[in-house]
C-alpha cells in the first residue's frame, strides 16, 4: 500500500526517506515540489498529487511535509490517517514533531517506521505497543545510559505482539493509581454583523491520562449523555455498551490518549460566551479609517472568560494603526497586516474597548470589505455544552484509584463578520 | 583482525583528545552532554569531537556515540567522511559501541545515500568487518549466544559487505554456534542489532542479490525455532528479501508457516503472501491455496487474542492483493468476517469493509428498487416495467439477512476515530444500503470535516460527489459547508461546489447570501434565475472590478440560457462597458451585444463606434469579439454600421496577432459581397446569427460516475491505477445465498476442531442436534455478534432436511424443475448439474468438489454480468423481472432464510461432535441443503 515515505521541510529539503518495498528514486518528489511551487502557501498544496507512475499523498504538519508514494489503489484517507498517526507518534516520542527532533533521533525514527509498517501495511500504530518495542528517549534515560554505559534498548523481549488487548501493554504497575479526564470543548461559530449567530457548533474531546496498574476495566457515565449524539471513540471503547446504555466502558491504554470526541451542532444548545460590538470603517477620502471594538460577556454561566484575544486580518492597504486599548495590549504587524489585541481576563464591570484610527496607503482605493474578527478565549471549569461526567467506576482491580475530571472551554474557529 | 590486536582504553590518547577539544573551544568536554550541544558546533569542533571519540574507547563515549551519529545525518559530507574514518579506528569494546556503529551504518545507508558517499561505502564495509570481529570478541567475553536468526543476520550482514574479505567469517560462525548461554544484556543487544541489520539487509538485498543469498540457509533454520517470535521475524525478513531466486524457498516457508500453531506466525505468513506475490506473480495459484486455508482459520473466531484478529486482517489484505476476483473464497467466511469486524484493528477494518462492499455487490440484489428516485438507471427500469410489476417488486423486496447483517455490523464503526474507517463504512452504506437508511452516514461524514486539512479535502470531495445524487442527505448540514476565511483554497472551492449542489428552492436565499458563485445556483433552479440576475446586476454596481467582471461573465451565461427578454440588463451592461477593464468581461459584453443586437438596435452601433476608437489598445480577446460584433451588426443593420465595420476590418487586417488577421480576413470574405465571394456569403447571416445553444453549467463532479467506487481523491482520478477494482453492478438475480452457510463439510475446518473443543470443554455429545439454541447463545457471546435471537426456531428441521436431502435429491430436483420460470433457469440448471455430478460420485474428493463449487459460482456471476453489460435496456429489465420472481420464492421461504444466518453457528457443533470422518464423507453441502429446505417449504404451502 504505502510504498515509500519522504519527509520534506518547509524550505523544500528532503531530509529523510524510507522505503517499505523496493526503492523509489527521490526524483519522484519533483512532482511534489512542482505542486508546492504552484500552491504558494503550504496549506494549499493538494493532498493527492498524480504523477505518471505513482500517486503522492501528502500531509503538512509542524512545517514538515510527509509525502508518501502510492502505486496501487488505496483509500486515500487510509494513507492520510496513517501519516497523521506517524506524526503523532513522533510527537509522542520526542515531545514535538519537528525537523530538528527527527534528525536528532533519526535511528529511533527508522526503528519506528519499520515497526509501524510492514510491506506498506500498518502493523503497530498503538503507542502502547510501540513503546514496548522501542523505548522513547528521555533525558533521564540518556543520563542513566551515560553513567551506566548501557544503551537505549528495551529491558525485556517485546511481548506486545502477544498481549490480548491490542492497545494496552501487559504488566503495568504504578504506586499511585490515577485516572484523569479532561473535557475540552471548542466553540466554532460565525457571528454576523449584528451579532446573530450564523452558525455555531461545539466540538468536544475527552482526553484521558490513565495511570492504573494491571488490567482495569473502567466505566465512565455522564449526567446528561443525551447531549451527545455524534461521537467517535478510541478503539478501546465498547460500542455496544454505548449503544445500549449510553455509558463508556473500556479497558484503557496506559498513559495519555484521547478517549472520545463529540460534536454538538444543534444551535440552541450552543451558548456564545461573548458578544462583540465593532465598528470598522474606512473613509472615502483622506486615506484613513476608524476602528472601535468592544467585547462583553454574554452566556458565560457565571465563569470568567480568560485568555481573550481578538485577531483582525486587515486589508492590504492599511499601513498602520493608532489605537487605544482600555485593557490589554494591541499590536499591529504592518507586514502580515494582522492586528492582535490581547485582552486577557474579561471584566464584566468595565468592558474592554479598543478604539482609534487606521491610516491607509494614500491614493489606494478604499478597501471593499471589512475584515472579520477572529476571537480566541478560554473558560476554565466549564463545559459550554453543559456536559457533566457523573461517575467513573473501575472493575477488575482491587486498589482504589484517584479520579479527577477537568472541564475547559475554548474558542475554536470563532469568527465575527463585519 | 584478532582480539589481541584490539587496543582499548588508551587513556593517554583520550586525555589528549579531550585536551585538544578544550583548547579549541570553551565547550565543556563532558562527552555525555555532547550529543545535545553537538548541533551547535562548527565543523572543526565536530572534527575534534570525532577524534575524541575515535581515540577514546572510553566506555561512556560509546553509549553516546549513538546520539553523535544521529547527528551525522545532517552534518556536512566531508565531515561525515572524516568521522567515518575515525570510526574505523575505534575498536568496539562494548555492546553500546557496537550498536552505535550499527546505527551509523543504517544512517549512512538508508538516510543519505547520495552520490558523494560512494567512497564511504567501501569504508563502511571495512568498518562492518571490524564490527563483526569486535562482536566476535564480545561473544567470547560474554559467553552468550546469538540466536540462530541473529547469526543469519550477522552472516548476511557480512555478506552484505560488498567484496571485502570474509576473513574471520568462519571463526565467527563457529563462535556464534558454539556459544549457548544467554543473558539479558545479550538479549537486549541482540534485538537492537537484529533490527538494524534487518533494516540494512532488506534495503540492500535487492541490489546485492548474490550476497544476500548467503544468508538464506540460516533463515530457514530460524523458521524452525521453538520461539514463535523468532520464527515470525525470520519469515518476515526472508519474505522481504526481494531476490527472485529464493521464490521457491519463500513459497515453502509460507506454506509451512500457514499451518503453524502460533497465530502470530500465521499472520506473518499472510503478510508474506503479498510480498511473494509482488515478487513473482506466477505463484498465484499456490498462494490462493494458502489464502483459502488461512481464511478458514478457526482461531479467528474463537480466540479473542489480538494476533488472530490481525491474522484475519492480513489474510484479507493478501486476498485483495492476490486474487480479488475469487470471491468464491469469501462465501464461507462472510459471516465470520461480518461478526468480527468490530474487533479487528482499525486498519484491517478498512480493508475488510472494502472487500465486503465488493462482495455484497455481487451477491445481493439491489435494495434500491422501490425508492431509487435519484438513481437514473433504476429509474429507467422502474418506469419501463409495467405498473403491476412495479408494485410487486416494491412489495416483494426483502433484504437478504446476510446483507442486513453486514449493514448492522458496520454501523457502529461510523463512530471510529479513524477517518478512513468512517469513510469506508460510508461508502459501504452508499453502495449497499437502502436509500432511506443512508442518512445515518451524513452526520459522521460531517464530523470528519473537523479533522485535518487533508482529511477535509478528501471528505469534501466525496460529499460533493454524493450531494449531486442525493441533495437531501446533506441539506440539514448545509451550514457546515460555509466557507471560512481561513480555509485553504481547494477546500473553499469544494465547499462552494457542495453548496451549489445543495441549492434548492427552500434554501436558496440562505445560500445566496452566503454565496458568490451564483451562476450555477441559478441555472439549477429556474425559478430563482431572476432573483439571481437581479443580485448579479446589483453586483455590477460593485466597485471591485473583478467582481463586476465575474458577474458579467456569469450574466452572459445566464442570458444565453434564457429567451432573450433581458434587453434592459444588456443596456445596463452597455452603460457599464466604459468602466470595465477586465478583458474577459469586455469580451463577454461585446458578445452579448452582437448576439442580441436586434433587441438593442440603438445601443449596439454606439458600442461598436466606441470600440472602433479604442480598437488598437484592446486585448486580443476583445478585438476578436469586436470583429464579431461588427460582422453581426453589418448583417443586421448595415446602413448604420457599414463604414464602421469596414474600418474595424481594416484595423484587424494589420493587427499583430495572426489570429485576429485571419478572423478579419474570414469575416470580410464572408460578409462583404464581392465578385469572388462564393456560396457561403449567402448564408453569412445564418452562420453568424444562428441561435447558439446555451452553455450547460454543471458541477465538475457530475461526470464522476457514482456506480463506481466513488472513493474520492484516488478513485476519481485513479481509474487507471493498478489494482483499482471496479465495483460491479448489482446482480439481477441474487446468487445463491446458501453458499455462505457451508461449514459442515469443510474438511479443513475439522483440522482445527481440537482447538475449538478447548474453549468449550463442558459440552456433551447429547446436544448434537437437539440443543443447538443454547449453543448458539454461547456462540453469540463469544463472537460478540448480534444475531437475531428469533432466527433459531427451525434449525432442527433444517438440519434434518439436509441429511435427508441426499436421498431425496433426485426426486426433488425433477419435481421442482417444472416450477421454475424460464428466466431463472440458467443459474439453477448449473446447480442442478453440479448436484447430479455429486450424486454420482459417492465419495468425492472434498477439495475437488470445492473447486467445482467455486467455479460454478464464478461462472454464474460472470455470465450475469456479461449479459447485463452487453445489452443495456432490455436485459436489465428482464433481469429485474427474474429477480422479482426469485424474490417471490424467497418470500414463501422466509423462515428458512432467516435460518441461514444462524446456520454456521449451529453447524459448528456438528463438526465438533460428529468427528471429522462422518461429516467429511457426507456429500451434503449447505447450499443444496438450503435449496432443498426452501422447496420443501413451498410444497408444504
pLDDT in tens, B17-53: 334 443 433 333 333 333 333 444 444 444 544 444 4
3-state helix, strand and coil shares in percent for chain A, rounded to the nearest 5: 20, 40, 40
Question: B103: pLDDT confidence band, cut at 50, 70 and 90?
Answer: low
- DSSP output for B308-360: HHHHHHHHHHHHHHH-TT-GGGTGGGHHHHHHHGGGS-HHHHHHHHHHHHHHH
**Cα→Cα distances B122→A410, B125, B164, B356, B412, Å:** 58, 5, 8, 51, 57
**Cα→Cα distances B239→B324, B403, B451, Å:** 21, 37, 37
Closest residue in B to A367 (Cα) is B544
pLDDT value for B484: 66
Same domain, A13 and A113: yes
Residue B272 to chain A, least CA–CA distance (Å): 9
pLDDT value for B140: 35
Classify burial at A236, counting beta carbons within 10 Å of its beta carbon; exposed 0-12, middle 13-18, buried 19 or more: buried
Give the Cα separation of B926 and B849 in Å (integer). Answer: 13
Domain carrying residue A265: 178-270+384-416
Same domain, A320 and A389: no
Contact B192 A151 (CB under 8 A): yes
Give the Cα separation of B108 and B200 in Å (integer). Answer: 10
B-chain residues near A73 (CB < 8 A): 714-715, 718, 721-725
- Who wins on pLDDT, B602 or B177? B602
Where in A148-302 does DSSP place strands (E)? 178-191, 197-211, 217-222, 231-233, 247-250, 255-264, 274-282, 288-297
Closest CA to A65 of A48, A42, A38: A42
Same domain, A202 and A301: no
Closest CA to B22 of B10, B34, B8: B34
pLDDT value for B90: 44
Least confident of A376-390, B225-239, B240-254: B225-239
**Cα→Cα distances A155→A75, A173, B184, Å:** 38, 15, 8
On the question of pLDDT at B623 being above 50, the answer is yes
Residue A81 falls inside a structural domain: yes
Q: Cell numbers for A139, please give them.
A: 533525558
Question: B675: pLDDT confidence band, cut at 50, 70 and 90?
Answer: low
Contact A240 B412 (CB under 8 A): yes
Mean per-residue pLDDT for B818-822? Answer: 42
8 A C-beta contact, residue A128 and residue A169: yes
- Who wins on pLDDT, B472 or B257? B257
On the question of pLDDT at B762 being above 80, the answer is no
pLDDT value for B398: 65
Same domain, A220 and A289: no
On the question of pLDDT at A269 being above 50, the answer is yes
Residue A170 falls inside a structural domain: no
pLDDT value for B732: 57
Question: Least CB-CB distance to A155: which of B188, B203, B444?
Answer: B188
Residue A214 falls inside a structural domain: yes
Number of compact structural domains in chain A: 3
Same domain, A403 and A313: no
Q: Report DSSP state, residue A412.
A: E
Residue A166 falls inside a structural domain: no
Question: B527: pLDDT confidence band, cut at 50, 70 and 90?
Answer: very low
Question: Does residue A176 sit in helix, strand or coil?
Answer: coil
On whether any CB of chain A is under 8 Å from the CB of B422, the answer is: yes
Question: B557: pLDDT confidence band, cut at 50, 70 and 90?
Answer: low
On the question of pLDDT at A207 being above 80, the answer is yes
pLDDT value for A349: 81
A196-255 residues touching B, CB cutoff 8 A: 198-199, 201, 203, 229-235, 239-240, 242-243
Q: Cell numbers for B19, please give them.
A: 585536551
On the question of pLDDT at B175 being above 70, the answer is no
pLDDT value for B178: 38
- Who wins on pLDDT, A128 or A326? A326
Same domain, A9 and A140: yes
Same domain, A264 and A279: no
Give the Cα separation of B362 and B728 in Å (integer). Answer: 6
Give the Cα separation of B564 and B557 in Å (integer). Answer: 12
B-chain residues near A418 (CB < 8 A): none
Question: B703: pLDDT confidence band, cut at 50, 70 and 90?
Answer: very low
On the question of pLDDT at A370 being above 80, the answer is no
Pairing label, strands A353-360, A288-297: antiparallel
Question: Least CB-CB distance to B714: which of A17, A48, A260?
Answer: A48
Beta bridge partners of A118: A121
Same domain, A395 and A262: yes
A328-357 residues touching B, CB cutoff 8 A: none
On the question of pLDDT at B420 being above 80, the answer is yes
On the question of pLDDT at B704 being above 60, the answer is no
Least confident of A173-182, A406-415, B172-181: B172-181
**Cα→Cα distances A282→A354, A371, B770, Å:** 16, 11, 87
On whether any CB of chain B is under 8 Å from the CB of A125, the answer is: yes
- Who wins on pLDDT, B708 or A367? A367
Residue A405 has φ and ψ, to the nearest 5°, of -130, 140
Question: Does residue B687 sit in helix, strand or coil?
Answer: helix
On the question of pLDDT at B250 being above 60, the answer is yes
Helix axes B873-892, B926-940, angle to 10 degrees: 70
Give the Cα separation of B186 and B142 in Å (integer). Answer: 8
pLDDT value for B322: 76
Beta bridge partners of A4: A19, A69
- Who wins on pLDDT, A95 or A160? A95
Mean per-residue pLDDT for B497-523? Answer: 57
Residue A172 falls inside a structural domain: no
B43-72 residues touching A, CB cutoff 8 A: 59-60, 62-64, 66-67, 69-71
- pLDDT over 90 for what percent of chain B? 0
On the question of pLDDT at B927 being above 80, the answer is no
- Who wins on pLDDT, B74 or A264? A264
Q: Which helix (H) or strand (E) holds B577?
A: none
Residue A220 falls inside a structural domain: yes
Question: Least CB-CB distance to A103: which of B74, B477, B717?
Answer: B74
**The domain spanning residue A359 has which CATH number?**
2.60.40.1170
Mean per-residue pLDDT for B376-387? Answer: 40
pLDDT value for B892: 39
Mean per-residue pLDDT for A192-200? Answer: 79
Question: B513: pLDDT confidence band, cut at 50, 70 and 90?
Answer: low
8 A C-beta contact, residue B445 and residue B463: yes
- A137-151 per-position pLDDT tens digit: 665 555 555 555 444
pLDDT value for A139: 58
Closest CA to A297 of A387, A205, A382, A184: A382
- Who wins on pLDDT, A286 or B510? A286
Same domain, A263 and A288: no
Give the Cα separation of B895 and B938 in Å (integer). Answer: 11
Give the Cα separation of B925 and A302 in Å (integer). Answer: 71
On whether any CB of chain A is under 8 Å from the CB of B447, the answer is: yes
**The domain spanning residue A7 has which CATH number?**
3.30.450.60
Same domain, A314 and A406: no
Mean of all residue pLDDT scores within chain A: 81
Torsional sign, CA B881, B885, B891, B895? negative
Closest CA to B378 of B801, B737, B732: B732
- A279-333 per-position pLDDT tens digit: 888 877 767 788 888 888 887 777 888 888 988 888 778 888 888 888 888 888 8
Question: B920: pLDDT confidence band, cut at 50, 70 and 90?
Answer: very low
Interface test with A, best of B714, B727, B759, B784 (most A CBs within 10 A): B714
A-chain residues near B67 (CB < 8 A): 104, 142
- B627-669 per-position pLDDT tens digit: 887 877 777 776 777 777 888 888 888 878 888 888 888 877 7
Question: B591: pLDDT confidence band, cut at 50, 70 and 90?
Answer: confident
End-of-domain residue from the set A96, A131, A148: A148
Residue A255 has φ and ψ, to the nearest 5°, of 95, -150
- Who wins on pLDDT, B324 or B867? B324
pLDDT value for A244: 86
Classify burial at B64, counting beta carbons within 10 Å of its beta carbon; exposed 0-12, middle 13-18, buried 19 or more: buried
pLDDT value for B369: 59
Same domain, A183 and A243: yes
Mean per-residue pLDDT for A259-271? Answer: 76
Question: B440: pLDDT confidence band, cut at 50, 70 and 90?
Answer: confident
pLDDT value for B201: 66
Residue A164 falls inside a structural domain: no
Residue A168 falls inside a structural domain: no
Least confident of A163-172, B349-358, B420-429: A163-172
Mean per-residue pLDDT for A356-377? Answer: 78
Beta bridge partners of A344: A308
Same domain, A78 and A29: yes
Least confident of B218-232, B258-272, B303-317, B813-827: B813-827
On the question of pLDDT at B220 being above 60, the answer is yes
pLDDT value for B110: 42
Torsional sign, CA A113, A118, A124, A129? negative
Mean of all residue pLDDT scores within chain B: 57
A282-311 residues touching B, CB cutoff 8 A: none
On the question of pLDDT at B510 being above 70, the answer is no
Amino acid at each position: 500500500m504505502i510504498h515509500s515515505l519522504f519527509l520534506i521541510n518547509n524550505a523544500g529539503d528532503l531530509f529523510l526517506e524510507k522505503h517499505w518495498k523496493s526503492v523509489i528514486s527521490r526524483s519522484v518528489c519533483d512532482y511534489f515540489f512542482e505542486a508546492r511551487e504552484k500552491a504558494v502557501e503550504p496549506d494549499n498544496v493538494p493532498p493527492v498529487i498524480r504523477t505518471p507512475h505513482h500517486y503522492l499523498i501528502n500531509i503538512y504538519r509542524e512545517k514538515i511535509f510527509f509525502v508518501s508514494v502510492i502505486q496501487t489503489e488505496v483509500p486515500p484517507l487510509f494513507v492520510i490517517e496513517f501519516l497523521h498517526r506517524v506524526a503523532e507518534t513522533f510527537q509522542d516520542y520526542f515531545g514535538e514533531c519537528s525537523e530538528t527532533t527527527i534528525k536528532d533521533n533519526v535511528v529511533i525514527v527508522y526503528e519506528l517506521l519499520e515497526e509501524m509498517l510492514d510491506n506498506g501495511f500498518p502493523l503497530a500504530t498503538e503507542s502502547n505497543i510501540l513503546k514496548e518495542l522501542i523505548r522513547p528517549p528521555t533525558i533521564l534515560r540518556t543520563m542513566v545510559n551515560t553513567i551506566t554505559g548501557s544503551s537505549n534498548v528495551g529491558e525485556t523481549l517485546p511481548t506486545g505482539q502477544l498481549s490480548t488487548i491490542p492497545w494496552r501493554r501487559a504488566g503495568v504497575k504504578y504506586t499511585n493509581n490515577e485516572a484523569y479526564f479532561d473535557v475540552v470543548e471548542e466553540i466554532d461559530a460565525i457571528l454576523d454583523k449584528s451579532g446573530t449567530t450564523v452558525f455555531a457548533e461545539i466540538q468536544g474531546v475527552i482526553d484521558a491520562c490513565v495511570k492504573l496498574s494491571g488490567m482495569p476495566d473502567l466505566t465512565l457515565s455522564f449526567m446528561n449523555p443525551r447531549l451527545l449524539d455524534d461521537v467517535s471513540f478510541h478503539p478501546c471503547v465498547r460500542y455496544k455498551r454505548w449503544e445500549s446504555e449510553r455509558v463508556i466502558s473500556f479497558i484503557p491504554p496506559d498513559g495519555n490518549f484521547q478517549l472520545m470526541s463529540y460534536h454538538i451542532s444543534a444551535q440552541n444548545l450552543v451558548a456564545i460566551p461573548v458578544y462583540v460590538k465593532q465598528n470598522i470603517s474606512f473613509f472615502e477620502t483622506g486615506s484613513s479609517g476608524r476602528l472601535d471594538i468592544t467585547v462583553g460577556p454574554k452566556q458565560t454561566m457565571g465563569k470568567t472568560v480568560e485568555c481573550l484575544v481578538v485577531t483582525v486580518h486587515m486589508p492590504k492597504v492599511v499601513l498602520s494603526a493608532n489605537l487605544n486599548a482600555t485593557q490589554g495590549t494591541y499590536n499591529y504587524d504592518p507586514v502580515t497586516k494582522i492586528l492582535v489585541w490581547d485582552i486577557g481576563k474579561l471584566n464584566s464591570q468595565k468592558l474592554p474597548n479598543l478604539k482609534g484610527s487606521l491610516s491607509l496607503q494614500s491614493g489606494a482605493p478604499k478597501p471593499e470589505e471589512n475584515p472579520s474578527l477572529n476571537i480566541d478565549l478560554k473558560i476554565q471549569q466549564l463545559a459550554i455544552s453543559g456536559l457533566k461526567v457523573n461517575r467513573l467506576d473501575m472493575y477488575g482491580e482491587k486498589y482504589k484509584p484517584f479520579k479527577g475530571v477537568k472541564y475547559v472551554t475554548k474558542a475554536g474557529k470563532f469568527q465575527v463578520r463585519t | 583482525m584478532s582480539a589481541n590486536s584490539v587496543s582499548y582504553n588508551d587513556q593517554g590518547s583520550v586525555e589528549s583528545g579531550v585536551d585538544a577539544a578544550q583548547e579549541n573551544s570553551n565547550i565543556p568536554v563532558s562527552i555525555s552532554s555532547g550529543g545535545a550541544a553537538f548541533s551547535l558546533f562548527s565543523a572543526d569542533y565536530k572534527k575534534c569531537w570525532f577524534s575524541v571519540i575515535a581515540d577514546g574507547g572510553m566506555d561512556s563515549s560509546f553509549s553516546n556515540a549513538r546520539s553523535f551519529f544521529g547527528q551525522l545525518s545532517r552534518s556536512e559530507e566531508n565531515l561525515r567522511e572524516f568521522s567515518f574514518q575515525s570510526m574505523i579506528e575505534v575498536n568496539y569494546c562494548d555492546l553500546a559501541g557496537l550498536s552505535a556503529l550499527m546505527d551509523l551504518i543504517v544512517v549512512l545507508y538508508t538516510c543519505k545515500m547520495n552520490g558523494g558517499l560512494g567512497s564511504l561505502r567501501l569504508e563502511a564495509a571495512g568498518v562492518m568487518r571490524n564490527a563483526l570481529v569486535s562482536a566476535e570478541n564480545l561473544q567470547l567475553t560474554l559467553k552468550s549466544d546469538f540466536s540462530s536468526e541473529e547469526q543469519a543476520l550477522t552472516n548476511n550482514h557480512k555478506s552484505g559487505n560488498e567484496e571485502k574479505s570474509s576473513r574471520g567469517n568462519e571463526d565467527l560462525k563457529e563462535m556464534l554456534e558454539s556459544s549457548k548461554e544467554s543473558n539479558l544484556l545479550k538479549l537486549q543487544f541482540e534485538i537492537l542489532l537484529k533490527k538494524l541489520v534487518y533494516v540494512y539487509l532488506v534495503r540492500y538485498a535487492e541490489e546485492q542479490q548474490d550476497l544476500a543469498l548467503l544468508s538464506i540457509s540460516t533463515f530457514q533454520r530460524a523458521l524452525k525455532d521453538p520461539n514463535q517470535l523468532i520464527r515470525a521475524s525470520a519469515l518476515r525478513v526472508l519474505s522481504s528479501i526481494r531476490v527472485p531466486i529464493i521464490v521457491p524457498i519463500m513459497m515453502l516457508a509460507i506454506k509451512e508457516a500457514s499451518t503453524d500453531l502460533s497465530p502470530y506466525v500465521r499472520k506473518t505468513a499472510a503478510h508474506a503472501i503479498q510480498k511473494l506475490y509482488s515478487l513473482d506473480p506466477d505463484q498465484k495459484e499456490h498462494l490462493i491455496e494458502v489464502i483459502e486455508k488461512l481464511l478458514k482459520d478457526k482461531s479467528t473466531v474463537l480466540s479473542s487474542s489480538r494476533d488472530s484478529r490481525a491474522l484475519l486482517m492480513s489474510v484479507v489484505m493478501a486476498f485483495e492483493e492476490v486474487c480479488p476476483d475469487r470471491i468464491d473464497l469469501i462465501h464461507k467466511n462472510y459471516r465470520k468476517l461480518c461478526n468480527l469486524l468490530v474487533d479487528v484493528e482499525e486498519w484491517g477494518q478498512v480493508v475488510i469493509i472494502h472487500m465486503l462492499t465488493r462482495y455484497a455487490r455481487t451477491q445481493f440484489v439491489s435494495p434500491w428498487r422501490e425508492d431509487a428516485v435519484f438513481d437514473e438507471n433504476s429509474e429507467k427500469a422502474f418506469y419501463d416495467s409495467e405498473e403491476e410489476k412495479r408494485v410487486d417488486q416494491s412489495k416483494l423486496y426483502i433484504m437478504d439477512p446476510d446483507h442486513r447483517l453486514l449493514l448492522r455490523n458496520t454501523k457502529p464503526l461510523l463512530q471510529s476515530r479513524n477517518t478512513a474507517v468512517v469513510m469506508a463504512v460510508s461508502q459501504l452504506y452508499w453502495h449497499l444500503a437502502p436509500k432511506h437508511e443512508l442518512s445515518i452516514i451524513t452526520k459522521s461524514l460531517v464530523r470528519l470535516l473537523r479533522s485535518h486539512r487533508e482529511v477535509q479535502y478528501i471528505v469534501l470531495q466525496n460529499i460533493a460527489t454524493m450531494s449531486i445524487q442525493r441533495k437531501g442527505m446533506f441539506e440539514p448540514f448545509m451550514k457546515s459547508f460555509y466557507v471560512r476565511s481561513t480555509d485553504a483554497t481547494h477546500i473553499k472551492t469544494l465547499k462552494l461546489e457542495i453548496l451549489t449542489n445543495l441549492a434548492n428552492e427552500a434554501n436558496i436565499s440562505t445560500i445566496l447570501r452566503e454565496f458568490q458563485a451564483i451562476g450555477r445556483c441559478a441555472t439549477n433552479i429556474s425559478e430563482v434565475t431572476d432573483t439571481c440576475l437581479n443580485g448579479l446586476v446589483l453586483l455590477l454596481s460593485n466597485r471591485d472590478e473583478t467582481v463586476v467582471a465575474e458577474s458579467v461573465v456569469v450574466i452572459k451565461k445566464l442570458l444565453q440560457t434564457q429567451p432573450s427578454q433581458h434587453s434592459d440588463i444588456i443596456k445596463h451592461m452597455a452603460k457599464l462597458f466604459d468602466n470595465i477593464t477586465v478583458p474577459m468581461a469586455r469580451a463577454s459584453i461585446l458578445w452579448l451585444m452582437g448576439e442580441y443586437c436586434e433587441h438593442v438596435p440603438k445601443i449596439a452601433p454606439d458600442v461598436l463606434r466606441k470600440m472602433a476608437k479604442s480598437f488598437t489598445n484592446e486585448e486580443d480577446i476583445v478585438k476578436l469579439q469586436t470583429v464579431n460584433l461588427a460582422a453581426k451588426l453589418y448583417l443586421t443593420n448595415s446602413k448604420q454600421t457599414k463604414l464602421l465595420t469596414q474600418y474595424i476590418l481594416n484595423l484587424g487586417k494589420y493587427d499583430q496577432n495572426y489570429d485576429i488577421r485571419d478572423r478579419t480576413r474570414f469575416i470580410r470574405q464572408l460578409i462583404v459581397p464581392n465578385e469572388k465571394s462564393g456560396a457561403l456569403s449567402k448564408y453569412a447571416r445564418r452562420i453568424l446569427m444562428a441561435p447558439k445553444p446555451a452553455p450547460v453549467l454543471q458541477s465538475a463532479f457530475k461526470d464522476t460516475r457514482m456506480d463506481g467506487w466513488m472513493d474520492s481523491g484516488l478513485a476519481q482520478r485513479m481509474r487507471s491505477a493498478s489494482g483499482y477494482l471496479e465495483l460491479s453492478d448489482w446482480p439481477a438475480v441474487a446468487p445463491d445465498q446458501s453458499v455462505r452457510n457451508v461449514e459442515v463439510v469443510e474438511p479443513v475446518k475439522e483440522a482445527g476442531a481440537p482447538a475449538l473443543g478447548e474453549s468449550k470443554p463442558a459440552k456433551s455429545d447429547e446436544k448434537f442436534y437437539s440443543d443447538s439454541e443454547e449453543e448458539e447463545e454461547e456462540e453469540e457471546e463469544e463472537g460478540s455478534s448480534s444475531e437475531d435471537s428469533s432466527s433459531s426456531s427451525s434449525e432442527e428441521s433444517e438440519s434434518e432436511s439436509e441429511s435427508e436431502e441426499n436421498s431425496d435429491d433426485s426426486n426433488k430436483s425433477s419435481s421442482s424443475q417444472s416450477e421454475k420460470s424460464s428466466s431463472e433457469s440458467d443459474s439453477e440448471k448449473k446447480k442442478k448439474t453440479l448436484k447430479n455430478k455429486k450424486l454420482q460420485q459417492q465419495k468425492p474428493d472434498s477439495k475437488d468438489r470445492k473447486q467445482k463449487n467455486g467455479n460454478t459460482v464464478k461462472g454464474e456471476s460472470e455470465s450475469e454480468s456479461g449479459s447485463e453489460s452487453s445489452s443495456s435496456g432490455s436485459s436489465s429489465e428482464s433481469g429485474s423481472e427474474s429477480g422479482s420472481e426469485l424474490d417471490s420464492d424467497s418470500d414463501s421461504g422466509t423462515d428458512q432464510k432467516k435460518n441461514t444466518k444462524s446456520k454456521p453457528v449451529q453447524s459448528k457443533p456438528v463438526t465438533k461432535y460428529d468427528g471429522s470422518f462422518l461429516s467429511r464423507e457426507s456429500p451434503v453441502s449447505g447450499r443444496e441443503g438450503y435449496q432443498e429446505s426452501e422447496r420443501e417449504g413451498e410444497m408444504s404451502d
